[in-house]
Amino acid sequence: LECPVCLEFFNDGSHTPRLLCCGHTVCQLCVERLVVSSSLPRFRCPECRALSKWRGIHHFPKNYILL
């Protein structure tokens, strides 16, 4: 399966699937890019626009089912 944002296949590296608070999954690299582009300690899910608070990448669990 692939990240819905960058369309790269999920892997256990920079494209690790991360589960957002809303339940959608995007790759780790895209989560980090969303945080940088928002310039706030929160960002919106690219699928449903729900807000997620940034407290570090490890607060978004890996979605092992997609690996």
CATH number at 28 reads 3.30.40.10
pLDDT value for 6: 98
- Inside any domain, residue 3: no
- Inside any domain, residue 41: yes
Per-residue pLDDT tens digits for 12-60? 999 999 999 999 999 999 999 999 888 788 999 999 999 999 999 999 9
Distances (CA, A) of 9 to 3, 43, 52: 6, 22, 23
Q: Which residue has the tokens 């959608």?
A: 24
pLDDT value for 65: 95
- Inside any domain, residue 60: yes
Query: Which of 56, 63, 65 lies closest to 22, judged by CA?
Result: 63
Residue 35 structural domain = 17-66
DSSP state of 13: S
pLDDT value for 38: 82
Name the domain count of the chain.
Answer: 1
Distances (CA, A) of 41 to 26, 53, 54, 57: 18, 6, 5, 12
